[in-house]
Structure 1
């Protein structure tokens, strides 16, 4: 999921890492400092359109390296979240570095997530502009509930419960959709989907150039 420009990441004491408040946290997550940049897949590639596999082995160097790489790739692409199939790996895993509507920065990863949403009669849907790193350059209004709870595990197999409000709730829903083989384009009317693809065709090369500049600035 891409970050809207007016939603810059707050850096300060209002940070929650893996769902827990911390006093301070660096602008560049420690995982990203260890990672390598991977190519971001683009809508139309088969890996984005099929459900991802459950992670069954925890605590491995390979899993840690994947998470580190995803964090750096997300930073380079100016993302608020990134699912594993967006770097070509069909595992149920996503990372996030996303503000909520109260200015709290949420940072972490979640493996094998299960999303809990409010019951239809009690949920509040909000239309807000949404982008996707795999639909580079496009942004469209997508209805999402303004509250979500995601349950899953960290890389060592410890259970996690991550709660999101507002924009962070949108991020949790967006990334979980990816792991089910869906992009936000699947939630759009046919006319809006065509418009999003037109935007991508017009802007994708500029987006790729911006990512290359940012990668170089981070020494990658």
Structure 2
């Protein structure tokens, strides 16, 4: 469905408002499908191993679920970056009636929630299961917390780097264009490829130039 909704770009047809909307919703659709698949796998593994031993429930719930969330988030950002040429074509056809992508604040808060909030929730659930089931020694609990913290550091850094990259690229392009104007080149024009406030910044520069 996602590929089919982008067929207009392959066929070089002018995009409709629905086509514009599909371009900016494509990353979310990819992430949702990945979350669904990982969610089903997490539930199945947690239930199957939990039937044999209740101690496996928190382990598989987090060990399978957290990587799935990280993978889905990373795929969202990578898909958004990969579709920038098509997004540029969609925005060239005309200004969208409303913002079609999550804003910078929404994108940042989502990455924070998934890279920091989920690991903290995992530690909380680990503590709850440890207290209720009484099946973890102090050493086992400490090791589990250390593993979660290490995973959060690694994947949190990766997700934040991707986020910073997505935000910094349009800003650098606008800064480069401003430098050209400063040097006397008043004919420069930017390709608008971002559906957030950064795209509005690019479009605003074109209006001024």
Indicate the TM-score class for this superposition, using the shorter chain for normalisation.
under 0.3
Which has the larger Rg? 2
Judging by fraction of residues, say which structure has more helix: 2
The alignment's TM-score, normalised by the length of structure 2, stands at 0.25
